[in-house]
Amino acid sequence: MALDQVITEFDKALRAVFAPAHSRRPLPGGDKPEAELSEAERRHVAGLMRIDHCGEICAQALYQGQAIASPSVALKKNLAAAADEETEHLAWTAGRLAELGSRKSLLNPLWYMGSLTIGVLAGKAGDAFNLGFLAETERQVERHLQGHLAVLPAQDQRSRAILEQMKEDEIGHSRMAESLGAAELPGAVKLAMKVTSRLMTKLTYYV
């Protein structure tokens, strides 16, 4: 990799983890009133949003790693477009955390580096596997978001609107990968992805 590309990729990583993210689309649920939440409910919602924000950090790293390793210019463009939407998700979840008086995960740099490495490995396995990994990641994120929607306090419509739009976007990314020729991943790979995701969510809820 040329030095200028190394600098560019390092800059992407720093921006994803440390710089404020921005969104071109309006904040989902931004027109809804803030819900009356107990202190326990507020902490719970903040924990869920911290997980979702961290998941978007990981998505940025995965897409970056996959694009670095893929020889396909067309696939790189599709990954960049998906990453752009994920940047909006970063902005939405970070904003909601601030509204809840909470913070982002302290483990974000660690998860970013791990996800970047996984993305590079997926990219080196070939475009069909690369797309399959993208599709499976988005399917698992979709189920994960559905689980969060199921346990949100009913009155918290601001958080719900954010998660519902994120879920819709993830479904779109998965379908995009499938339309481009995503391969079905081996069961062992899917299981490893689920186990890693569970570890990340359990730690990030608190840290």
Whether 158 contacts 35, CB under 8 Å: yes
170 labelled as ligand-binding? yes
Residue type, 54: C
98-103's contacts with Cβ under 8 Å and 24+ in sequence apart are 99/34, 99/158, 100/42, 100/45, 100/46, 100/49, 101/42, 101/46, 102/43, 102/46, 102/49, 102/50, 103/50
99 labelled as ligand-binding? no
> For 37, phi and psi rounded to 5 degrees?
-120, 140
SS (H, E, C) 78-133: HHHHHHHHHHHHHHHHHHHHHHCCCCCCCCHHHHHHHHHHHHHHHHHCCHHHHHHH
Q: What tokens appear for 182 in the block?
A: 């995503």
For residue 192, give the nearest of 113, 83, 118 by alpha carbon. Answer: 118
86 labelled as ligand-binding? yes
53 labelled as ligand-binding? no
Which residue numbers belong to the known binding site? 56, 86, 89, 138, 170, 173
Which residue numbers belong to the known binding site for Fe cation? 56, 86, 89, 138, 170, 173
